[in-house]
């Protein structure tokens, strides 16, 4: 290989790496993550806690301010229902990667489960992202302290609460939420 060809390959390689880690590469990173999620979902799926191992929250008095497709609500009002909480952001590639599977799950379970998508993004960013992707998730900003059991510093993080308000599942990182295993798990949780 000539020095000129090697130089061109190096420039292309580093250009691609830089592209991936700038705002222009956000969509590309999300698509790459979706591919990884597909493979990961074939091998690993989120797993739930046994009923005896589920923990209660320190407090259920958590106020959520509606940002999109929702009305203000308090977590205490959702006790007695299965609650699916997803911490996410529009700028987070793994969050964006799992959104299509979340959307498919949401379309089928919106009338059975309470979905709470939590973000700190401004409403304008959420509206723009939802419009571009035809999403309609009920999205909130937290107005009060989040109990340690469902709080996170990692995005995305998903927590599912059983009807008693105990933590049924806490998954840090992106996942395929529309898998058969997750649906079976939710169906079993709904009849508990």
Q: Report pLDDT digits (tens) over 7-55.
A: 666 666 665 555 555 665 556 655 565 555 555 544 456 666 677 788 9
Q: Where is pLDDT greater, at 71 or 94? A: 71
Domain assignment present for residue 19? The answer is no
Helices (H), the chain: 3-20, 26-43, 93-109, 123-133, 180-190
pTM: 0.78
- pLDDT mean across residues, the chain: 85
Domain assignment present for residue 167? The answer is yes
Where in the sequence is the domain holding 107, given as residue range(s)? 41-190
Domain assignment present for residue 34? The answer is no
What residues pair up with 64 in beta bridges, in sequence order?
73, 142
Cα–Cα separations (whole angstroms), residue 181 to 44, 144, 150 = 10, 33, 22
Q: What is the pLDDT of residue 1?
A: 55
- Supply angle C-alpha 136, 79, 160, rounded to 5: 55
Domain assignment present for residue 116? The answer is yes
- When divided into structural domains, the chain yields a total of 1
Domain assignment present for residue 155? The answer is yes
Domain assignment present for residue 3? The answer is no
- What would you report as the CA-atom Rg of the chain, rounded to the nearest whole angstrom? 19
23 in the Ramachandran plot: left (φ > 0), alpha (ψ -120 to 50) or beta?
alpha
Q: Dig out the tokens for 176 from the structure.
A: 């395929």
Q: What is the pLDDT of residue 43?
A: 46
Share of the chain above pLDDT 90, in %: 63
Domain assignment present for residue 164? The answer is yes
Q: What is the pLDDT of residue 137?
A: 94
Domain assignment present for residue 7? The answer is no
Q: What is the pLDDT of residue 20?
A: 55
Q: What is the CATH number of the domain that holds 125?
A: 3.40.30.10
Q: What is the pLDDT of residue 42?
A: 46
């Amino acid at each position: 290989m000539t020095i000129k060809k090697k130089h061109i390959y190096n420039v292309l390689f580093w250009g691609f790496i830089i592209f991936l880690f700038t705002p222009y590469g956000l969509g590309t990173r999300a698509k790459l993550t979706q591919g990884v999620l597909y493979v990961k979902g074939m091998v690993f799926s989120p797993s739930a806690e046994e009923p005896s191992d589920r923990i209660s929250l320190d407090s259920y008095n958590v106020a959520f301010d509606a940002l999109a497709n929702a009305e203000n609500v308090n977590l205490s009002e959702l006790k007695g229902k299965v609650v699916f909480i997803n911490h996410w952001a529009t700028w987070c590639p793994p969050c964006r990667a799992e959104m299509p599977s979340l959307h498919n799950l949401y379309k089928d379970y919106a009338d059975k489960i309470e979905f709470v998508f939590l973000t700190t993004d401004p409403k304008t960013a959420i509206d723009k992202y939802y419009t571009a992707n035809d999403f309609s998730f009920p999205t909130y900003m937290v107005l009060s302290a989040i109990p340690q059991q469902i709080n996170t510093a990692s995005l995305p993080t998903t927590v599912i609460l059983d009807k008693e308000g105990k933590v049924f599942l806490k998954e840090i990182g992106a996942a395929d939420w529309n898998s058969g295993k997750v649906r079976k798990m939710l169906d079993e949780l709904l009849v508990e």
